[in-house]
Structure formats: structure tokens, C-alpha cells
Structure 1
């Protein structure tokens, strides 16, 4: 079973005085890259949340957002009373006839008139956040599995096409050999010189050995079987599938370079086209 690296998961928590929304989005990447956007009061817990995300998603470019909306009587910003009182006293010495309300308006705009109270993260609240994070991770994992099923079906179809094209290559290979032999005989005849038939046969065998694709056909067939076997394994391993894809491409290229026969080269082009589409999608596999 394979998984895509593309996915999205979301969960929401309604706490007594706040609403928390957790969103996780992932795209393909060679490694795990987590970009976190969380409120400052939860920064001390960021490492713990990152570890949970890393253990679940393993690989990909991940955007993790934790959004906070205050819904109750909770405000972290407080008036710094001693500072404001001192400002009012100083202002009153300049504006002796000034209204106290006006002095307060001026004082509240002065530096340090407001202070942000940093509260410790409540463990019960954080446990609720962890549950919400696990819910979002469960959803993005399900999303990845669904995407993986679609990609898996596409891979199987394209591997089947390559296998059928390989069968055509095997079918026309004897014909190709005869065409190459005939081409060489005609070339010798065009020289209008007598040649030693035994010597010619030896040279012909040596020449044909350079164009023999028996090993490539066997290896390509084995690589295709191994790709399908890996595709059906329990674990998703995009890097392993990518390596097998490279080996498949190497054998296809060698067959193409050795073919020296237009009908076979056409089949090779079709195999390359299917393989390129597989390689493009392999970049999205976990």
C-alpha cells in the first residue's frame, strides 16, 4: 500500500473561553520540512507537537497551523496600573486644569502603559490540543491513503502497458535479427568482393552479439515484477520505487540503443513515455 505526500487535515476544539482550529497541509518533498504557525503562548509546546507530526507524516513539506479565537472573558493584555498612575500624576502637573478622563486617555497611550500577561499553558487544555492534533493527523493520513490508491491504480496500469510492450519486443526480436543479418549480407555484396564465408559467419556472430538484448529483456521483466511486488507491500516506500524506476529506465534505454530496428525503437519510445509518467507521480509517493 502506498501513500501520497499530498494531504490535508483539520480539527476544531471548543474550550470554555476559546476556540482552537488546527490545520495541517502537506506536499511532496525529499525530506520532512515542517513550517509551524502557532500562538506565542504555545511555543513552549512546539517541540512536542513537531515530534508527533514527524512520527505520523514521516516525509513531505508540511504546513502546520494552530489558530486561536478568544470566545470568553479572557484577555492577556492588562493595564499596567502603577505606570499609568505615575503618567497621570506627571501629566496633571502640566495640565492642572485638565480633566482626569483626558489625562487617562493620554497616559494609556504612553510606553509600557499596557502589559501582556504570559500565562502558563494549562495541561488539561494542552491535552485537548494534542487530541485535536491527532484527529487532524488521522484525517491527513486518510487523505494520503486515498490519494495513494489512485496513484497505485495508475502505476499498475502503466506497468501493465510496459509489460505488454516488452512482450511485443520479445515477439519481434527474431525478426529484427534476421533483418540485421540481411542488411549486413547486402552490405558485403555491395562491396563486390569475395569473402571467406566462415570468416563472414564469425564476424556476423560477433556483430550480432553486440545487438543481443536477451539480458536486458530478462532484467526488465524482473524489474517490472519487483516494482509491482513493492507496490503491493504493506509499507509505502517512494524512494525504493524511484530506484526501481531508474533500473527499469536503464534497461529500456539499453534495448533502444541496441535495437537498430525501427519497429522495436517505436516500442521503446512508448515504454519510455509510460515510464516518464510513472516517474513524475513517484515524486508524490511517501
Structure 2
């Protein structure tokens, strides 16, 4: 299912940014783009995403942008205070001694690079990811709701066709029986009535589609139930559509009437339309 979400979070070490994009995919495929400072968190990020999303090709990128005015160097206040005390203590012994600011800053330890606290940064990274994931999942849920309506409309169309076929079946059976009896009446040699009746029953049984229609009704009920669930249902729907297709194929193979043949074709068209939409559902 397609979706997009992004966000930023201010931290002690700069501004964290995160973006998530997704396109349709049968399984979960996660691609990560991380700066070197965040590379060690990759396994944790993968685990976090997989706990919330089960299908889709996901592109996740994160960045850490240092503040523009931040050089990354900071004064060691404690060391400067110690050096000032030492200067006062030695001033009387070295009255002509002078130290420039440049020399002072070059003294080892006076300037320090601000270190990154891995645990604190990890908390910030996960907090941002969770916020972006919330938006991402909500976006998918909104799209999923729209797809559920589309699939539901197709399911009702299937139900209508199945009901129409069910009303046609008695007419088709009667018509086929009449055709067979007419042909038998044209035979030059009379046939055994008992044997003919037996063969007729067997032939009509081969054309019986009541079981296929009953299974279609059952699959429709299950489809409606699954669409109301809040858990991931994409794979369950994949399986259901295979069952729908099997019944439509059988209905078509048993058909001896143009009306039921057309109905089987229309069923397969609707089933394919639902299948296309299901590829977008987690």
C-alpha cells in the first residue's frame, strides 16, 4: 500500500529528520538510508518497523543535521579555570610571561569536541521513528478504508450475479431436460425409459452448480468479515480470492447456457478487480 510520512526532532546534537515511503509489495521489503552517526541503530530500526508493518516496499531514511552555528567544539570550562589559578600562582615568579588566546586554545584539553551519548541519541531516534510510524500507519489505514469500500462494492456485485445464476438454474435444467427428451423422441429405435431416466439424472447432476454457488456465498461472508478486521488481512484475502476464482472456473466449465457462461466471465472480471486491490492491502 502506498503511503508517505516524515518528521523532525530537535536534539542536543542537532536536528533529526526521518522520511518513510512505501509502494505495493506482497511481502515486507525495507530499505534504509542512514548517516554514519546512526548506522549502529540499523538492526533496531528494522525491528521497530517490522513490528508495525507486515507488507510493502518501504524506504526509510534518517539524517542528523548539526545546528548551523555549532562548530562542534566546546570550551572546557573546568580546565580553563584551573589554568587561570595556575597563572595567578606563577605571575609573581614570571612577571614578563604572556600567553595569547591562540596559544591558550591550543593547549591540550582546552577545546573539546562534544561527544554523542549513544543511549540518549538512540532514545531520540526511536521517539522520532515512532512518531513517523504513527503518521505512516494512519495514512495507510485511511487508504485501506477506501480500498475496503471498493472491494465491498465488487463483492456485492458478485453476490448479485450468484443470486441471478441461482434463479436461472431451474430454468436451465428444465430446458436441458426438454432438449434431451426431444432428441430421444426423434430416435428410430425406442429406448428403455428406465435407462434413459437414469442417464438423464446423471447428465443433469454433472451440470449442477448448487455447491459452487453455496461456496461463493460462504466466501462472500468470509470476505465481508475479514474486511472489518483491524489486523493485517492481505494474505488472508489473497487465499480467499483463489477460492473465488476456483468456483468461477467450475461454474464456467459446467455451463451449457449462454447466460451462465456470461455470468462466469463477469465473476472472473470482478474477482480480478478485487485481486488488484488486495495487492495494496497489508
1:13–1:21 Cα contact (<8 Å) kept? yes
Say whether the 8 Å CA contact 2:159–2:217 is kept in structure 1.
Answer: yes
8 Å CA contact retained: 1:27, 1:62: yes
Question: Matches of 1:35 and 1:185 in 2, distance apart?
Answer: 68
Tell me by how many angstroms 1:75 deviates. 5.5
Equivalent pair of 1:34/1:63 in contact (CA under 8 Å): yes
Distance 1:235 1:17, change over 3 A: closer
Match of 2:14 among 7, 15, 18: 18
- TM-score computed with the length of structure 2 as normaliser: 0.80
Which position in structure 2 is the counterpart of 1:165? Answer: 161
* C-alpha contact (below 8 Å) 1:41/1:118 kept by paired residues: no
Query: What SS does the aligned partner of 1:10 have?
Result: strand
Q: Does 1:144 align with 2:140?
A: yes
Q: Deviations over 1:211-263 (max 9, x none)?
A: 11121111111111111111112322111111111111111211111121111
CA distance in 2, matches of 1:119, 1:191: 102
Please say if 1:240 is aligned against 2:233: no
Gaps of 5+ in 1: 78-116
Structure number with higher relative contact order (C-alpha < 8 Å, ≥ 6 residues apart): 1
Match of 1:201 among 197, 213, 235: 197
Is the CA contact 1:170–1:217 (under 8 Å) kept in the aligned structure 2? yes
Distance 2:275 2:195 in 1: 46
Larger radius of gyration: 2
Deviations 1:25-77 (A, max 9, x none): 12222322110001011111121122111111122211000123333344679
TM-score by length of structure 1 reads: 0.79
CA contact (8 A) 2:54 2:232 kept: no
What is the aligned length? 243
CA offsets per residue over residues 113-134 of structure 1, 9 Å max, x none? xxxx996454333322221111
CA shift at 1:163, angstroms? Answer: 0.4
- Hey, what's the Cα distance between the residues in 2 that align with 1:59 and 1:37? 19
